[in-house]
Structure formats: structure tokens, C-alpha cells
């Protein structure tokens, strides 16, 4: 039996990865480590939390001695590191939290793995990162695994730092690692500070849909279950020391995405087409807002045979269906504290 540590497993992407691994690999012992910040929610995993090969541990990756004790206790064969502070706006308001979790927390995990892994055989440290480390693209071109790093926010700078540290531990200590950099994820269980779940929530409540600037920023969108499948593939079949870019092949401007979402929501809610569009509200642009991200996934497709299964129109319909079928989940995580934070920081009403 392999014992696998998944950090941040109560969060959005992490919960989908935990569920996939617990269900697909009954002979693995999956340990989900999460500190349960605002974005961590064990309700995301209530369908698997009683299975015999799953265990939850509450703990903070910033606590170095605790992490070392955890590695000593469980003798992990592999680590899938998803725990991170991930919201750009929050990084602008509180950069130190991102430095601690994304940089110091990653080093604590690397040190734990280095301490107990006497050889690289049978072990793997998998660091999940973001395309934001590459900076901003112009109207053409795609991010490659060889693209130079050029982060523009405290969030992306902290993730770039953690990427470099993971590679440094591979080069210096021969730690067996892989890294993936993914595009924007969407789908069920995403905390409603991000564009799509926030917009679904606000449309449902007839509240304004905030759009930064003119809505011209472009992102590549990846359905979260497609991302989880790619993570599974890279963990088991990726080459040691390699980086793989994971993209959805779905480039949308923010405003085009929201118009598509409004159209889908009007249909699902039985409203006249165009009703939700009236909620669109343009707000002051984010500081250092990158214009365009787009990923070239050729490497993972050619070497490992992965490709996204859903186009955005299909994925957004599945996403809307899930949120409308789970209104209690959305209301429970949309706390008053979050609403006050959001309104104070980003929306002038």
C-alpha cells in the first residue's frame, strides 16, 4: 500500500484530486492535509470521508516541526502539493500570507520529503502551480514550459518562488519532483471569490456582476475534473524533474465569458434572455492585471496522452447545474465576512 499526502485537499482543486485518488486507487492510503482556511471545506468531500483508504489531518504547512513529525509518522511515498493561497486580489491586500503559505509552506514540505526519502526510487514530490508565473501574453503566442518567468502580482511571485525552490531541491538534493502549471480552473466546489462562482451567486441573487476594467482580459479555462485527470497522469507517468503545462484550450475574454454565463443562467432560471446581462457592472481594474494567459499543452499531450475532455460551453453548463442544485453549499460558504471583505476591497456601489 502506498501512502500519499495531498495538501490542500479540502479546497477546490484539491477536493477533486482527493476524490479521484480515493476512488481510483483503493490500495492507496490517501492522507488529506488541510488547515481549513476560508476556502477549505470538508463538505466538499462528504461523499468519500468514510472510505477506509481516506484520512483527514488538520494542520498548517507553515508549521515546520509539525510537517516533519507528519512525514516521520506516515512515511509518505508521494506528495501532491496543492495547498496555496491563490486569490490575486487577496495577495494585493495581504502579501505576507502568500509568502508564508506558498513559499515557506512549500519549503517545509520539501524538507519533510528530503528527510525521510533516502532514495528517489518509489517516491515523487508533485508541485501544482499556475500559469500566472509566466506573466502576461500579447495578442498572440502561448506559454511553453520553457517560457521565462515574469510574475506581476504577489500571488504569482510567491508561486514562481515555490516553483524555483522545488526545482532547486531536485537539482541540489536529487529530490524526485514534477511540476505542472495550469490555466484557470472552474467547476463545482469553487469558493465564490473567483469570477465564475461569484457571478453565478450574484446572478442567482440579482446582485451586480463586477467586471474589472472593460472585461478585455483573456484567460484559458480548464474544467477542474479534466485538471484532476491530468494530475493523476503526471503523478504516475510524468518524467522526473520535468514541468508540464496543463491548459483547457478555451480562451475567453472576461466579458465574453460572463455574457455566455448570463445566457446559460437565464435559460436555467427560466428568465427572459438578456435579463442577467443587466447586472454587469464595470469596476476599477485590478492593479497589475495581466492582459492574457494561454497555455500550450503539447508536451503533456504528446508525452502522456492527456487532452481536455470538455469545451467551455459544456463545462459551464455542468458547473451552473451543480451550483443551482447545491444552493445551500453556496450560501454556507458565502459568509457575511467574505461579502464585507469583497465589497470593501473591490466594488464601489
By annotation, the residues acting in catalysis are: 131-132, 155
What the block records as the C-alpha cell of 164 is: 524555483
Q: Helix or strand or coil: residue 216?
A: coil
Q: Which residues make Cβ contacts (< 8 Å) with residue 44, sequence separation at least 6?
A: 10, 11, 12, 15, 189
Q: Which long-range contacts (CB under 8 A, 24 or more apart) does 224-227 make?
A: 224/12, 224/13, 224/16, 224/185, 224/186, 224/187, 224/188, 224/189, 224/190, 225/16, 225/20, 225/187, 225/309, 226/308, 226/309, 226/310, 227/13, 227/16, 227/182, 227/185
- Tell me if 37 sits within 8 A of 65, measured CB to CB: no
Backbone angles phi, psi at 194, to 5 degrees: -85, 160
* Closest C-alpha to 294, from 124, 115, 141, 88: 141
Bridge-partner residues for 297, per DSSP?
A: none
Return the beta strands (E) in the chain as ranges.
Answer: 2-7, 28-34, 54-58, 78-81, 124-130, 177-182, 184-186, 209-212, 218-223, 243-246, 251-253, 280-283
Amino acid at each position: 500500500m502506498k501512502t500519499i499526502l495531498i495538501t490542500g485537499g479540502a479546497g477546490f482543486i484539491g477536493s477533486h484530486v482527493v476524490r479521484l485518488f480515493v476512488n481510483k486507487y483503493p490500495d492507496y492510503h490517501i492522507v488529506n492535509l488541510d488547515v481549513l482556511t476560508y476556502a477549505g471545506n470538508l463538505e466538499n468531500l462528504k461523499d468519500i470521508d468514510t472510505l477506509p483508504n481516506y484520512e483527514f489531518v488538520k494542520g498548517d504547512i507553515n508549521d515546520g516541526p509539525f510537517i516533519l513529525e507528519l512525514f516521520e509518522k506516515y512515511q509518505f511515498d508521494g506528495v501532491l502539493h496543492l495547498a496555496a493561497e491563490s486569490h490575486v486580489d487577496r495577495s494585493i491586500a495581504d502579501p505576507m500570507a502568500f509568502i508564508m503559505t506558498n513559499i515557506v509552506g512549500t519549503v517545509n514540505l520539501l524538507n519533510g520529503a528530503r528527510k525521510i526519502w533516502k532514495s528517489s526510487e518509489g517516491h515523487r514530490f508533485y508541485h501544482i502551480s499556475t500559469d500566472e508565473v509566466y506573466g502576461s501574453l500579447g495578442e498572440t503566442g502561448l506559454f511553453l514550459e520553457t517560457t521565462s518567468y515574469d510574475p506581476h502580482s504577489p500571488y504569482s511571485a510567491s508561486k514562481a518562488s515555490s516553483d524555483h525552490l522545488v526545482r532547486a531541491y531536485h537539482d541540489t538534493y536529487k529530490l524526485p519532483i514534477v511540476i505542472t502549471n495550469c490555466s484557470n480552473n472552474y467547476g463545482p466546489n469553487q469558493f465564490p471569490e473567483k469570477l465564475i462562482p461569484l457571478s453565478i451567486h450574484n446572478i442567482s441573487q440579482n446582485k451586480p456582476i463586477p467586471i474589472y476594467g472593460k472585461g478585455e482580459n483573456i484567460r484559458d479555462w480548464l474544467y477542474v475534473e479534466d485538471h484532476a485527470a491530468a494530475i493523476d497522469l503526471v503523478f504516475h507517468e510524468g518524467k522526473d524533474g520535468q514541468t508540464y503545462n496543463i491548459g483547457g484550450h478555451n480562451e475567453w475574454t472576461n466579458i465574453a465569458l460572463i455574457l455566455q454565463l448570463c445566457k446559460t443562467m437565464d435559460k436555467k432560471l427560466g428568465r427572459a434572455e438578456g435579463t442577467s446581462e443587466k447586472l454587469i457592472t464595470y469596476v476599477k481594474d485590478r492593479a497589475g492585471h495581466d492582459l492574457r494567459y494561454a497555455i500550450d499543452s503539447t508536451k503533456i499531450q504528446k508525452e502522456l496522452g492527456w487532452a481536455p475532455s470538455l469545451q467551455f460551453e459544456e463545462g459551464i453548463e455542468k458547473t451552473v447545474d451543480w451550483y443551482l442544485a447545491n444552493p445551500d453549499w453556496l450560501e454556507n460558504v458565502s459568509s457575511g465576512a467574505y461579502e464585507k471583505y469583497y465589497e470593501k476591497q473591490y466594488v464601489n456601489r
